[in-house]
Amino acid sequence: MKSFYITTPIFYPNAKLHMGHAYTTTLCDIIARSHRLNGEDTYFLTGSDENTGKILKTVEENGQDVSEYLAGLRENFKDLYKRLDISYDQFIFTSDKENHWPGAIAMWNKLQEAGDIYKSKYEGLYCTGCETFYTEKDLVDNKCPVHQTVPEKIEEENYFFRLSKYTSVIKDKITNNELRIFPETRKNEILALLDRGLEDISFSRPKKSVPHGIPVPGDSDQVIYVWCDALVNYISALGFGRKEDNLFNKFWPADLHVIGKDILRFHAAIWPAMLLSAGIDLPKSILVHGLITSGGQKMSKTLGNVIDPDMLIEEYGSEAVRYYIARHITPFEDGDLTLESFKDAYNANLANGLGNLSSRILTLSQKYLDKCPEIPESEDFSEYFKIYERLEVNKAADYVWEKIGALDKMIQETEPFKVVKIDEKKGKEIISDLVVRLYSIARLLNPILPKTNIILKKLIKENKAPEAPLFARKD
């Protein structure tokens, strides 16, 4: 059986997840479900990035116990994922000493054995918001391009990783698609960056600045900095560095890392370099999605345009959130979400489109058919799966809604409600045909709307019209 391994980035558990975060994870879930539907042995990993100074600061400010605090935030993530029907197989968290730390330490040791770790003085511009060091040329008006704050000047003795050594190998692998970057624009962006060359990077921090980090093997004054910690989650979760490494043997290399465009360099330059140095296969592909904006601007607390997924779930249901993410945001570009655009899409395509169509057909079926007509055991969805393989999730959703539109048109043209009164046999045949086609749509909905997929198939099989609208109209 073909296997498929897909990952989300691991999220910082320092704030409530907003629609931007929910977007990455839901997008992954839709892709993962499409591969399961296609009969592949799919493994879906998500998690949280916990060994960071930023979290520590928040915890200290709140006067709370670090591990309790982290466990609580993790539960919040999981609760949201449950509400959104995220079908992850494992939730990794990097403060997990038993499951994650051995992997990070094993990776460090491999890089060291390869001669790619050395000690040196580090002078850098550190943005606490990003947890990242910047060089002068990364800054805009001397400020962090993300947070618009002046970064702190830091001077310390750190371990470095010879990232520069791998620039040309990575460039070749990306150019010849051994490591595929979707979409093409992001591939070009990273190739341009590789053209400018990569500098060696700081790979550790003094323990005093990140007291909860993973200790550097053989140097208790230093902890492993984010790269050899957070990025390693993709393999530590599978058992890399531990005895129980069956999952690693089965699923690595990853088929797909899904990330936002802000963490492209980490994933398409630093991570491949580490893997090359350690002699581990590179992931096969990386999908770099855009950011969700609201009213054309990046969602941010300061702008006050952050949209809380829970608020949308409460008002419209989780299926509506999944629908919007799948169809109204192109994974390859930035996508906009406002409360108005959400409501309009919901009313037009769920309350009307899908909801209305389902109740019309099921009402006719319940009224005129004795039982559910015969449904084919399986169907050929290869065209649909090909769209997912190209990662064009919005087009996969379009494909389903085109079928919904076509079926709607078919009802208008065949007028079964009239025909059945004149020629009962013919009317029933038309209705049976509509039911079979609706079942096919229900099957196609599986990756995008997992709840509706089940409800609709059940109603059809039981030959029952829904008691209440599947998607009530909102005014």
Residues 6+ apart with CB under 8 A from 191: 171, 174, 175
Active-site residue identified among 78, 147, 328, 464 = 147
Query: Is residue 183 at the binding interface for ligand MSP, with CB under 6 A as the rule?
Result: no
Tracing tokens 């990386």 back to the chain, one arrives at 286
Considering only residues 218 through 237, tell me which ones interact with ligand MSP, judged by CB under 6 A.
Answer: 230-231, 233
Torsion of CA 305, 308, 311, 317, to 10 degrees: 120
9 sits near ligand MSP (criterion: CB under 6 A): yes
144: annotated active-site residue: yes
For 467, other C-beta atoms within 10 Å of its C-beta total 6
Q: What does the block give as tokens for 355? A: 């909801």
Using CB under 6 A as the binding rule, the residues of this chain from 46 to 85 that contact ligand MSP are: 49
Copy the structure tokens of residue 183: 């979409």
Stretch that binds ligand MSP, among 28-36, 70-78, 259-267, 381-389 (CB under 6 A): 259-267
Of the candidates 4, 5, 6, 10, which one interacts with ligand MSP according to CB under 6 A? 10
* 259 near ligand MSP, rule: CB under 6 A: yes
Catalytic option among 208, 301, 371, 425: 301
Q: For residues 445 and 323, is the Cβ–Cβ distance under 8 A?
A: no
Q: Which of 28, 144, 228, 372 is catalytic?
A: 144
Among 23, 44, 161, 166, binds ligand MSP (CB under 6 A): 23
- Residue nearest to ligand MSP as judged by C-beta position: 260
Binding residue for ligand MSP, selected from 4, 5, 20, 270, defined by CB under 6 A: 20
Name the one range near ligand MSP by CB under 6 A: 4-12, 163-171, 210-218, 243-251: 4-12
- Residue 272 engages ligand MSP in binding (rule: CB under 6 A): no
Determine the distance from the C-alpha atom of residue 399 to the mean position of all C-alpha atoms in its chain, rounded to a whole number: 21
> Which CB atom, from 324 or from 384, has the smaller least distance to ligand MSP?
324
Nearer to ligand MSP, 15 or 375 (CB): 15
373 binds ligand MSP (CB under 6 A): no
Per-residue contact flags (x/-) with ligand MSP for residues 297 to 336, judged by CB under 6 A: -xx-------------------------------------
Closest separation in Å from C-beta 49 to ligand MSP: 4
CB of 148 to ligand MSP, least distance (A): 16
CA distance 66 to 80: 22
Closest residue by Cα to residue 258 from 44, 38, 90: 44
104 vs 263 by CB, closer to ligand MSP: 263
Is 147 tagged catalytic?
yes
Between 235 and 456, CB nearer to ligand MSP: 235
The answer to whether residue 18 is catalytic is yes
26 binds ligand MSP (CB under 6 A): no
- 289 noted as active-site residue: no
Using omega within 30 degrees of 0 as the cis cutoff, is the peptide bond preceding 9 cis? no
Give phi and psi for 467, each to the nearest 5. -70, -35
Count of residues for the chain? 475
Judge whether 84 and 318 are in contact, CB under 8 Å: yes
127, 212, 257, 267: the active-site residue: 127
Task: Single out the catalytic residue among 261, 298, 403, 451.
Answer: 298
Active site residues: 18, 21, 127, 130, 144, 147, 298, 301
* Interface contacts to ligand MSP, rule CB under 6 A: 9-12, 20-21, 23-24, 49, 230-231, 233, 259-260, 262-263, 291-292, 298-299
